[in-house]
Amino acid sequence: MIYNYFFNLTGSEIASAFICCILPLVYVLTYVLYAVYGERKVSAFMQDRIGPNRCGYRGLLQTVADLLKMLQKEDIVPRNADKPFWVMAPIIVFTGCFTAFACIPFSSAFVGSAFSLGILIVMAASSISAVGLLMAGWSSNNKYSLIGSLRSVAQIVSYEIPTFLVVLVMIIILGTLDLTVISEKQTAYFWNWMILGGPGLSWQKFVYIPFMVSSFIIIYISTLAEVNRTPFDIPEAEAELVAGYHTEYTGMKFGMFFLSEYGNMFAVSAIVSILFFGGYQSPFGYLGNSLNLPWLVPIEQLVWFSIKCIFFVFVQMWLRWTLPRLRVDQLMATCWKYLIPIAFVNLIIIGLITVL
Amino acid sequence: MVQYFKNIYNALATIAIGMKITLKHFFLPAVTIQYPEVKPALPERERNRLYVNIDDCIGCDQCSRACPVSCISIETVKGTADEDLGKTSNGKKKALWVTKFDIDFAKCCYCQLCVFPCPTECIYMTDVYEYSEYQRADLLYHFSNMTQDEVKTKKLNFEKAEAEKAALKAAAPKPEPVAKPAVISPSAPISKEKPAADNLTSEKKDNNGEVK
């Protein structure tokens, strides 16, 4: 474990805990820098454009330049805003987003907290952002912000239900809430991944597959809605609501909303890849094992984990540039009429199979 | 109930179709032309900034008259008999010094109507379209290559020549101007009596001389 390593290195609990906190932050910040760049490039390529290509080699420094610009911006507080809540909102949203990373295992050697209720903590922490969004919209004293935040909260609250139902299905099958254990169970070959029925070779494995695929689709759609991405981006629908709940925010406060949006994208992709695609496990075994270099394995795991998460983030971007925005009633119909009943049926059938 | 599953199937199938299309475009090359570095090929008969080859201009003023927005302003001074103004490229003899040939591109509407009447084809459209300026006055292009001093001397020369001509006319064939109004006179006897009438007739004669 990375904590023990740093504890041996520094001899101080506080210092090693601090380093363990900083590492995921560094990882997430670097990821956000290039996710924003990637988003712009992906959208450009899908629209047959070139995208940013002026800053650095092929525009690689574009987001760094944008970040520097954002830091220099004046911090404007609207006169009629409820100032304490207004200032607190982006911090809460970002904290909620970043807390989720505490329990996500990046590799077998690097888990922020190997907490036995990991998945619950992740889901709970990512729900905190709903409070932050509501605060941001309400305290801005702006009708667009208010409508945006109300929509956002309604959406997050209703789409959490199918997400949790699918997570429950996975908990029933795997019998654990610990994300590290969930990753460990889907050991190093892709036919052990939960999307293909999980580890082992019993008859249940093959029965599980259709339910796993439908569960995966449900959780992917509902997490997409939870992070307010297109086609579920009515909280920040540019054409109707300017920018939704962060209309009034400037500078680094806006930057924090932005950061947490991309951070959340990564967090839900991480959840999906841990639950269904083996987390940090390699699909083809490890080079470190075959070369007899044990220190290489965690690094490979980190790489595989990043590849999986970034692939799902890419699919989110891909969907964004494919689908138009849903209407509010369509959004609610998708959730309550389709995702939740199917998730319930999945839950019951999987429960029965597990009992048998 | 059947409709319910049909809806689900339709949703997933259409999303898959859409994603297939966007993925195809993801790998297609971009259609962007990176403008300042790469310039698009203009069509063959594009209309952009005008150019005047002042060496070929005979100062006939036809372009200026054709212009619907009056953006061309031309001033000419007649050359005297002893001056050789040269020939245009298509063999026309030049008779006028073009002292001013200004085109105001702030007004120009790129209709190309000035190009067709030009007898020497000295005004034409080029492929230059990047000539924006910070000051509107900078869009007034001066095509005449004569300096102010040259213009002054040409004007003086012309006036001198005119004066000489007038002197010559005053000296030699006096009956002519008298004869002409004499023919018209029965119809307009009043104008003949006025002193200004004489001046008018002499001016008419000058104009005739110019045309010849």
Residue B159 within a domain: no
- Residue B13 and residue B83 share a domain: no
Domain around B6: 1-28
- Residue B145 and residue B54 share a domain: yes
Query: What residue has token string 């207004």?
Result: A86
What pLDDT score does B206 carry? 45
- Residue B54 and residue B24 share a domain: no
- Residue B144 and residue B92 share a domain: yes
What pLDDT score does B185 carry? 46
Residue B141 within a domain: yes
Closest-CA distance, A302 to chain B, in angstroms, reads: 27
- Residue B136 and residue B54 share a domain: yes
Residue B130 within a domain: yes
Query: What residue has token string 């999987």?
Result: A350
Residue B66 within a domain: yes
What number is the average pLDDT over the span B199-209? 44
Q: Which of A42, A43, A50 is the best substitution to test chain B (most B C-beta atoms within 10 A)?
A: A50
Q: Which of A43, A322, A325 is the best substitution to test chain B (most B C-beta atoms within 10 A)?
A: A322
Residue B70 within a domain: yes
- Kindly report, residue by residue over A208-239, the tens digit of the pLDDT: 888 888 888 899 988 888 888 878 887 777 77
Q: Give B100's strand partners.
A: B75
- Residue B75 and residue B22 share a domain: no
- Residue B120 and residue B87 share a domain: yes
> B22–A44: do the CB atoms touch at under 8 Å?
no
Q: What is the mean pLDDT of chain B?
A: 78
- Would you kindly state where each structural domain of chain A is located, as residue ranges? 1-72, 84-355
Contacts of B25 in chain A (CB under 8 A): 45-48
What number is the average pLDDT over the span A240-263? 82
> B8–A338: do the CB atoms touch at under 8 Å?
yes
A-B CB pairs within 8 A amount to 40
Looking at A2-11, A26-35, A72-81, B185-194, which range is the least confident one? B185-194
pTM to 2 decimal places: 0.75
CA A287 remoteness from chain centre: 28
Q: Looking at chain B, which residue has its C-alpha nearest residue A338?
A: B8
Is B125 within 8 Å of B50 (Cβ atoms)? yes
Quote the ipTM score.
Answer: 0.76
- Residue B55 and residue B18 share a domain: no
- Over 50: is that where the pLDDT of B198 sits? no
Is B74 within 8 Å of B100 (Cβ atoms)? yes
- Residue B135 and residue B89 share a domain: yes
Contacts of B19 in chain A (CB under 8 A): 318-319, 322
**Helix/strand/coil for B98:** strand
Q: Which residues have a Cβ under 8 Å from the Cβ of A229 and sit 6 or more positions away? A: A265, A316, A319, A320
- Over 70: is that where the pLDDT of B174 sits? no
What number is the average pLDDT over the span A36-57? 87
Q: Looking at chain B, which residue has its C-alpha nearest residue A231?
A: B15
Q: Which of B19, B27, B31 sits opposite A322 (nearest CB)?
A: B19
- Kindly report, residue by residue over B113-159, the tens digit of the pLDDT: 988 998 888 888 888 888 888 988 888 888 888 888 888 888 888 88
Q: Looking at chain A, which residue has its C-alpha nearest residue B27?
A: A45
Q: What is the mean pLDDT of chain A?
A: 84
**Helix/strand/coil for A118:** helix
Query: Domains in chain B: how many in total?
Result: 2
> B18–A44: do the CB atoms touch at under 8 Å?
no
> B25–A319: do the CB atoms touch at under 8 Å?
no
Could you tell me the CA-to-CA distances from A164 to A123, A196, A197, A267, B38 in Å, in that order? 8, 21, 19, 15, 53
Share of chain B above pLDDT 70, in %: 81
Residue B162 within a domain: no
Contacts of A345 in chain B (CB under 8 A): none
Is B15 within 8 Å of A323 (Cβ atoms)? yes
DSSP per-residue codes, B157-209: HHHHHHHHHHHHHHHS--HHHHHHHHHHTTT-HHHHHSTHHHHHHHHHHHHHH
Could you tell me the CA-to-CA distances from A62 to A37, A74, A259, A265, A322 in Å, in that order? 7, 21, 15, 20, 24
* Reported confidence tier of residue A1, pLDDT bands at 50, 70, 90: low
- Over 60: is that where the pLDDT of B201 sits? no
Most confident range, picked from B85-99, B124-138, B191-205? B124-138
Distance CA A57, CA A130 (A): 38
- CB of B32 within 8 Å of a chain A CB? The answer is yes
Distance CA A133, CA A257 (A): 9
- Kindly report, residue by residue over A141-180, the tens digit of the pLDDT: 888 888 888 888 888 888 888 988 888 888 888 888 888 8
- Residue B71 and residue B18 share a domain: no
- Over 70: is that where the pLDDT of B180 sits? no
Distance CA A281, CA A302 (A): 9
> A48–B18: do the CB atoms touch at under 8 Å?
no
- CB of B18 within 8 Å of a chain A CB? The answer is yes
> A49–B31: do the CB atoms touch at under 8 Å?
yes
Residue B109 within a domain: yes
Helix A62-72 and helix A251-276, axial crossing angle in degrees, nearest 10? 140
Q: Which of B12, B19, B31 sits opposite A48 (nearest CB)?
A: B31
- Residue B145 and residue B80 share a domain: yes
- Kindly report, residue by residue over B26-76, the tens digit of the pLDDT: 888 888 888 888 888 888 888 888 888 888 888 888 888 898 998 889 888
- Residue B129 belongs to domain with CATH number: 3.30.70.3270
Amino acid at A201: L
Q: Looking at chain B, which residue has its C-alpha nearest residue A314?
A: B23
- Residue B94 and residue B20 share a domain: no
Distance CA B79, CA B209 (A): 13
